[in-house]
Amino acid sequence: MDITILKQTAQALVAPGKGILAADESTKTIAKRLEKIGVESNPEINLAYRKMLFTTPGIEQYLSGVILYDETIRQSIDSASVPQYLAGKGIIPGIKVDKGAWLLPNFPEEKVTEGLDGLRDRLTEYKEIGAKFAKWRAVITIGEEIPTDTCIEANAEVLARYAALCQEQDIVPVVEPEVLMDADNDLERCKEVTTMTLKKVFERLSAHKVVLEGMLLKPNMVISGKKSPTQASSQEVAEATVKTFLEVVPGQVPGIVFLSGGQTPNQATENLAEINKVPGSPWQMSFSYGRALQDEALTTWAGKEENVRAAQQAFLERAKKVGESLAEYARKAIKEQVKKDKKKKVND
Ligand code: 5MM
């Protein structure tokens, strides 16, 4: 394990003003997304869609990395492999390595993510093809009597084992324990479940000796469930999110890259901007959005070649909105730090 490489990659992924595009929809999920615009999924059409995204002129100003699916990492754009193409634009290629969330035996409403079998060999191959970071998503569902400790523990354990295997090969693990926002719970309940989950995840990461400086956390925001009659404001979401994370996420983790989890593009943009306004967090707070970055581009594209430019424009505009708000706060934070340092020197 080369800790310097891990740290460098992790820091590059959360460079000020930049974040990650999650374009790692599995076969079933991409089919669902394309079905919405009346397009039938197959490897060629999936590539045409993703090529539209990746070749967007200027997108590298806002994207530090892209998470790919196994199908895409083996495809090519303009006679370069997809990872080579992205790296050529200064975008770091990453890979989804989990095999999806499956029913947890004896816990009918809960899931555990699978994919550890053969992972060491798969990581070796992905590294050869060009992946510098990886992603594994665990899903925690909120309900009357769930999540159970068993579900949280099972997912935390596999997340930690995945992370350790990645670091063994100098691949930065993006650790994604997603507390779903689909239920009718309020903000407080989301905070409670997110806290329980993250506590357990960091306990297992520590037990497996995962180097915190060489990983990224990809969590949900602390937010009201979609079906809740009371929806917290962006400021409330931001305060609750930062407060929760300060309690449970160690400061050595270089960055937190939020998932959008079904928020609209505007909500996800605004909430992240507000999160970055809350003072006192030791991490870079950025994004690893799938739907919130892609939704407008996908509907504009609608599977038609003649819409590629307009779709790219929509994609660039969204990425710019998300990225620029981050850069603005990063600049302010740096200025404040410089002021503080100067003051300290004078007082010393
Ligand atoms: C892009 O979707 C990713 C893969 O999902 P499946 O395994 O279900 O096909 C997903 O893990 C995604 O990276 C996260 O959910 C974040 O995406 P959103 O849309 O929530 O920002």
Nearest atom within ligand 1 for CA of residue 260: 21
Distances (CA, A) of 183 to 108, 134, 179, 277, 304: 17, 29, 10, 28, 35
pTM, to two decimals: 0.95
Cis peptide before 108 (omega within 30 of 0): no
Nearest atom within ligand 1 for CA of residue 28: 9
72 in contact with ligand 1, CB cutoff 6 A? no
Nearest atom within ligand 1 for CA of residue 29: 9
Residue whose CB lies within 8 A of the most ligand 1 atoms, among 20, 21, 24, for a mutation test: 24
From 215, 139, 209, 126, select the one nearest 172 (Cα to Cα).
215
- Distance between Cα 347 and ligand 1 center (Å): 49
Predicted confidence band of residue 284 (pLDDT cuts 50, 70, 90)? very high
Residue whose CB lies within 8 A of the most ligand 1 atoms, among 133, 135, 162, 291, for a mutation test: 291
Give the DSSP letter of residue 138: E
pLDDT one-digit tens code per residue, 236-281: 999 999 999 999 999 999 999 999 999 999 999 999 999 999 988 9
Domains along the chain with CATH numbers: 3-347 (3.20.20.70)
Q: Cite the active site residues.
A: 176, 218
Contact 243, 284 (CB under 8 A): no
Average pLDDT over residues 201-226: 98
**Strands annotated E in 14-91:** 19-22, 63-68, 76-77, 80-81
From 155, 151, 146, select the one nearest 185 (Cα to Cα).
146
Predicted confidence band of residue 327 (pLDDT cuts 50, 70, 90)? low
Residues 6+ apart with CB under 8 A from 342: none
228 in contact with ligand 1, CB cutoff 6 A? no
* pLDDT attached to residue 334: 64
How far is the C-alpha of 199 from the C-alpha of 204, rounded, in Å? 9
Phi-psi region of 228 (alpha: psi -120 to 50; beta: other; left: phi over 0): beta
pLDDT one-digit tens code per residue, 82-130: 999 999 999 999 999 999 999 999 999 999 999 999 999 999 999 999 9
* pLDDT for residue 346 is more than 90: no
